[in-house]
Amino acid sequence: MDLQKVVVKFFAERPDAVTLEEFIPVFHRWIQKHAVEGMLIDVADYGHLPQGPGIALVAHEADYFIDRMEGPLGLLYSRKAPSTGRLSDRIAAAFKAALGACMKLETEPEFRGRLKFKAGEALFIANDRLNAPNTEEAFRSLRPELAAALAKVYPGNTDLRRHTDDPRSRLTVSVSSREPLPDVSALLSRLG
């Protein structure tokens, strides 16, 4: 499967403990300080749209969103620029970028003690309907690569479940760890 555009989302444990507007100055500060990898460009506020993309940190290689589009409030990392390597390595890199951003947000002064992300639960989205349509066949083809990537992230086994069989939707996989996990920093440390 030739999949370049991948999305990873981690959910907030207490989605109502923070507001979307609080992320705007934080993301602006990230641009100024080059706080995450990539060429960071701008911050966009889509918070006024119901079920919209929330607050976006736009970058050249990938965008970061604080959104409610794919379930409850969470951090969504969307890789949009091609990268090299095996698909499992590209997926693992997306998880690493998402986990790194989650950890940074948890430690920002504005959010300390209020924002924590669920380490044992995530969404993986194949953001390419041509190369990865939302079919059982595409899921079976993606599953070994996704499992290989997740073996680097999660200790023990994970459950992978196709989120919906609606062909109009992107291929979305719910990921859940079978073992309790302390926090996102523990997962990030497994990726080096």
- pLDDT per residue rounded down to tens, the chain (192 residues): 789 999 999 999 999 999 999 999 999 999 999 999 889 999 999 989 887 899 999 999 999 999 988 778 999 999 999 999 999 999 999 999 999 999 999 999 999 999 999 999 999 999 999 999 999 999 999 999 999 999 999 878 899 999 999 999 999 999 999 887 778 998 899 888
Indicate the pairing of strand 6-12 with strand 40-46: unpaired
pLDDT digits (tens, 9 = 90+) for 3-27: 999 999 999 999 999 999 999 999 9
Contacts of residue 189, defined as CB under 8 A and 6 or more positions apart, other chains included, come to none
Q: Where are the domains of the chain?
A: 6-190
pLDDT the model gives residue 178 = 85
Provide CB contacts within 8 A for 172, sequence distance 6+: 70, 123, 124, 125, 126, 134, 162, 163, 164
Looking at residue 157, what is its pLDDT? 83
Position 49 scores a pLDDT of 87
Is the Cβ–Cβ distance between 51 and 69 less than 8 Å? Answer: yes
| Residue 109 DSSP one-character state | T
Express the helix, strand and coil content of the chain in percent, nearest 5 each: 35, 30, 40
Contact 115, 105 (CB under 8 A): yes
Instruction: Name the nearest CA neighbour of 190 among 103, 106, 111, 126.
Output: 103
Which pLDDT does position 97 carry in this prediction?
97
pLDDT score of 68: 87
pTM value > 0.85: yes
pLDDT value at residue 59: 97
